[in-house]
Amino acid sequence: MIKHRGFPGRLPGTDFQFVIRRPNPKGVTPITARERYADRRAPDKRADAGFLAALWEHFADEPFERGNLDAGRLSWLFGREVVPAEDPFDPASYSALLRIDVSAAQSTFPEVFEASD
């Protein structure tokens, strides 16, 4: 499992985790697309935006390996802002390649891309 050095461990000032410390001994947690409802709490929305901002800062539009990125946090963006970068895609692999769908991410989280201009 690759560790993304310099990637923030969590959203500052919160307990929203962005990375894991070690591989899960029971097996890899698969990435699954989670439904985001309009009535989600504001802190959850900030965590999504913060995680996407960290992904954008570290990888931009280049493919990246899942590595030690938290499966739960990726799952909130998976299938929309974060998409598979390989075919076939193994959602239960630490070496799976992902990428940011820039157009989808810009329409959902414009504040992330305004800050990087």
Instruction: Please tell me the least confidently modeled range out of 8-12, 28-32, 75-79, 99-103.
Output: 8-12
Query: SS3 of 105, please?
Result: helix
Average pLDDT over residues 110-115: 81
Q: How far apart are CA 25 and CA 64, in angstroms?
A: 23
Question: How many distinct structural domains can be found in the chain?
Answer: 1
Query: Which of 100, 85, 29 is closest to 20 using CA atoms?
Result: 29
- Asked if residue 19 belongs to a domain, the reply is no
Picking from 83, 71, 77, the residue whose alpha carbon sits closest to that of residue 18 is 71
Has residue 35 been placed in a domain?
no
Does 27 fall in a domain? no
For the entire predicted model, the pTM comes to 0.88
In a domain, 7, yes or no: no
Q: Is the pLDDT reported for residue 110 higher than 80?
A: yes
Q: What per-residue confidence (pLDDT) applies to 73?
A: 92
What range does the domain containing 108 cover? 42-115
